[in-house]
Amino acid sequence: EAQVTQNPRYLITVTGKKLTVTCSQNMNHEYMSWYRQDPGLGLRQIYYSMNVEVTDKGDVPEGYKVSRKEKRNFPLILESPSPNQTSLYFCASSSYRGDTQYFGPGTRLTVL
């Protein structure tokens, strides 16, 4: 089954404790991206990747890192999380930039 998976689905952590949210897709998509969703602000892109080893900042990249060592995986790293990063995070993939995005199930992160 074609899908995008994310782990964990829920995470409660404390300020400053490094965390990684994993994302994996099995559709051989070249383009992957991370979004955060906050009430009233819609979907905001954090980082994206056009292909392996090619990543770039989206609209709200501060406080986040990503890597793309394999085509299928695109982890999101928060080196020192802060309470303002409490949000719902979605990973998405598509065949190429601008095409239909397929979203993962979401990760609800709470930073205390």
Partner 1 sequence: GENVEQHPSTLSVQEGDSAVIKCTYSDSASNYFPWYKQELGKRPQLIIDIRSNVGEKKDQRIAVTLNKTAKHFSLHITETQPEDSAVYFCAASNIQGAQKLVFGQGTRLTINP
As measured in angstroms, the least distance from the Cβ of 17 to partner 1 is: 26
What is the nearest approach in angstroms of partner 1 to the Cβ of residue 47?
11
Token reading at 71: 């085509």
| Nearer residue to partner 1 within complex by CB, 81 or 104 | 104
Measured from the CB atom, the residue of 56 and 79 that comes closer to partner 1 is 56
**Is the Cβ of residue 83 or residue 105 nearer to partner 1 in the bound state?**
105
Q: Is 112 strand, coil or helix? A: coil
Least separation in angstroms between CB 58 and partner 1? 8
DSSP type of residue 60: -
Q: Name the nearest CA neighbour of 26 among 4, 48, 49, 51.
A: 4
Question: DSSP for 1-44?
Answer: ---EEEE-SEEEE-TT--EEEEEEESS--SEEEEEEEETTTEEE
Cβ closest to partner 1, residue 4 vs residue 111: 4
**CA of residue 55 relative to chain centroid, distance:** 12
Cβ at position 55, least distance to partner 1 in Å: 13
Query: Which residues lie near partner 1 (CB under 8 A)?
Result: 33, 40-43, 45, 48, 58, 90, 94, 96-106
